[in-house]
C-alpha cells in the first residue's frame, strides 16, 4: 500500500512508524504535553462479516476499520463520538471522564488507516475543575453543535450523575468549563448507569432542526419502551423508542436528510451483538413511538461492545457512518472503529 501524501508527511516527521500490518501513533497526555508521550497501535481491519471494503453487508456498505491498542490506562472506555473539524478531526468521550481527540487518517483506497495527533484531556465541571469522582465522570454520549455551518461546540450526556453539558471547541478540541443544559427532572433524578445513553442534534433538513434528542437505555415507560425527550424551541417533549429483542439503544446520530440512526447493543452467548436501525425523519417528533428498520445486525468476533455512533463526510465526499466500541478498560475487549456507508 502506498501511503497518501498526508500519511507520508506524518511518517517522514516521525509521528507514525509503519510496521507489519500496523501503525504506531503518538499520544499526548495533558499532564505534560511536551514530554508525556505513549505509543498506540492501530491495526487496520480489512473485512467485516466476510465482505471486503466497498462491498455490501446487509443494508450498508463496509468501508473499513481499525483496532486501536494502547498500554495507557487513560485510553479506552470510548462511549461517544463526533467529528469536530476539517480533515476528519474527531472527539470521543470516555466513561472515565476524559475527552479523547485526534485525526482519522485514510489510505489511498479511502479506508480508515490510523488515528493521529491524539490527546487525552480531563473533562471539566462548571467551575473549570476536573470531575471529582467516578460517579460524575461517566460520559456516555456526545453530539457536535453546528453554528454557521461549522462545528462550534459539543454537547455531552452523562449517566449515573445524569446531566447534559456543553463545551466550546478550540481548533476542533473541546475546552473550558462545562455549561449545564437544562433537562427534565425525571431524567436528572434517574441516577443509574442505564439512564442517559444517547444524545444527538437534528440537522437543518430535519423537521425538528436544531432540537436535541435524549435517549435512555434503561428508563422504561408504561408501554415498555425506552423513554426519550426532545429539547427544542418548537419541538419539545416526550417520545419513546422501541428496541429489538435482546438489544438496547446505546447511541444515535442524524443523517443529513434528517433520518435518525440508532445503534443498539446486547449480549448473545457470552459475546456482544449490535443492530443499526434507521428511522425516517418524519417519525421523529414529540409523542412518537420510534422503531425503524434494521440496516445491519452482527455478533461475535467482527464486533465488540459497540457504543458510539457518528455520521460525517468521508474522504470520498460521501456520508460515512462510524461506530466505535467501548473496551471498558478490559484486556479481553477491543477499541474498534468501524466505518460504513449507505448504498447510493
Q: Which range in 24-28, 266-270, 303-307 is most confidently predicted, on average pLDDT?
A: 303-307
pLDDT of residue 1: 38
The mean per-residue pLDDT over the stretch 247-252 comes to 98
All three cell numbers of 110, joined, read 479511502
Least confident of 39-43, 209-213, 282-286, 340-344: 39-43
The mean per-residue pLDDT over the stretch 11-19 comes to 40
pLDDT at residue 163 greater than cutoff 80: yes
Quote the DSSP letter at residue 32.
S
The mean per-residue pLDDT over the stretch 164-182 comes to 97
Mean pLDDT of all residues belonging to the chain: 90
pLDDT at residue 191 greater than cutoff 50: yes
Pairing of strands 98-106, 112-122: antiparallel
Rounded to whole angstroms, the Cα distance separating 106 from 191 reads 40
The residues pairing with 238 across neighbouring beta strands, listed in sequence order, are: 229
pLDDT at residue 22 greater than cutoff 70: no
pLDDT at residue 7 greater than cutoff 90: no
Rounded to whole angstroms, the Cα distance separating 195 from 191 reads 7
Query: Is CATH 2.120.10 the right assignment for the domain spanning 5-123+131-341?
Result: yes
Residue 20: burial class (beta carbons within 10 Å; 0-12, 13-18, 19+): exposed
Assign 233 a pLDDT band (cuts: 50, 70, 90): confident
pLDDT of residue 71: 82
Rounded to whole angstroms, the Cα distance separating 208 from 203 reads 8
Rounded to whole angstroms, the Cα distance separating 185 from 218 reads 16
pLDDT at residue 79 greater than cutoff 70: yes
pLDDT at residue 33 greater than cutoff 50: no
Residues of the chain with pLDDT > 70, as a percent, come to 89
Q: For 140-153, write each residue's pLDDT tens digit.
A: 999 999 999 999 99
Q: Phi-psi region for residue 275, left (φ > 0), alpha (ψ -120 to 50) or beta?
A: beta
Q: For the stretch 184-207, what's the b/e string if a residue is b when 16 or more beta carbons lie within 10 angstroms of its beta carbon?
A: eeebeebeeeebbbbbbbbbeebe
pLDDT at residue 189 greater than cutoff 70: yes
Pairing of strands 23-29, 112-122: parallel
Amino acid at each position: 500500500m502506498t501511503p497518501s501524501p498526508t500519511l507520508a508527511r506524518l511518517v517522514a516527521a516521525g509521528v507514525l512508524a509503519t510496521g507489519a500490518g500496523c501503525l504506531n501513533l503518538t499520544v499526548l497526555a495533558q499532564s505534560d504535553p511536551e514530554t508525556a508521550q505513549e505509543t498506540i497501535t492501530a491495526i487496520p481491519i480489512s473485512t467485516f462479516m466476510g465482505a471486503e471494503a466497498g462491498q455490501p453487508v446487509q443494508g450498508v456498505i463496509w468501508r473499513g476499520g481499525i483496532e486501536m491498542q494502547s498500554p495507557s490506562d487513560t485510553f479506552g472506555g470510548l462511549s461517544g463520538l463526533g467529528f469536530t473539524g476539517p480533515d476528519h478531526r474527531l472527539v470521543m468521550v470516555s466513561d472515565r471522564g476524559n475527552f479523547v481527540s485526534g485525526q482519522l487518517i485514510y489510505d489511498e483506497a479511502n479506508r480508515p488507516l490510523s488515528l493521529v495527533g491524539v490527546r487525552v484531556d480531563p473533562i471539566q465541571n462548571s467551575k473549570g475543575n476536573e470531575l471529582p469522582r467516578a460517579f460524575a465522570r461517566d460520559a456516555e454520549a456526545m453530539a457536535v453543535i453546528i453554528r454557521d455551518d461549522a462545528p462550534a461546540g459539543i454537547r455531552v450526556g452523562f449517566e449515573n450523575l445524569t446531566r447534559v453539558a456543553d463545551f466550546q471547541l478550540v481548533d476542533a478540541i473541546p475546552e473550558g468549563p462545562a455549561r449545564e443544559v437544562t433537562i427534565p427532572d425525571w431524567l436528572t433524578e434517574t441516577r443509574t448507569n442505564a439512564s442517559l445513553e444517547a444524545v444527538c442534534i437534528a440537522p437543518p433538513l430535519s423537521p425538528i432542526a436544531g432540537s436535541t434528542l435524549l435517549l435512555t437505555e434503561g428508563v422504561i415507560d408504561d408501554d415498555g419502551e425506552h423513554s426519550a425527550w426532545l429539547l427544542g424551541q418548537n419541538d419539545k417533549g416526550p417520545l419513546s423508542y422501541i428496541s429489538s429483542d435482546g438489544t438496547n439503544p446505546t447511541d444515535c446520530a442524524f443523517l443529513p436528510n434528517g433520518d435518525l440512526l440508532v445503534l443498539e447493543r446486547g449480549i448473545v452467548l457470552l459475546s456482544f451483538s449490535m443492530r443499526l436501525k434507521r428511522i425516517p425523519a418524519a417519525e421523529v417528533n414529540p409523542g412518537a413511538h420510534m422503531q425503524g428498520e434494521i440496516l445491519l445486525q452482527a455478533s461475535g468476533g467482527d464486533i465488540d461492545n459497540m457504543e458510539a455512533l457518528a455520521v460525517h463526510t468521508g474522504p470520498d465526499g460521501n456520508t460515512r457512518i462510524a461506530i466505535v466500541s467501548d473496551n471498558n478498560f478490559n484486556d479481553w475487549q477491543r477499541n474498534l472503529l468501524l466505518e460504513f456507508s449507505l448504498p447510493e
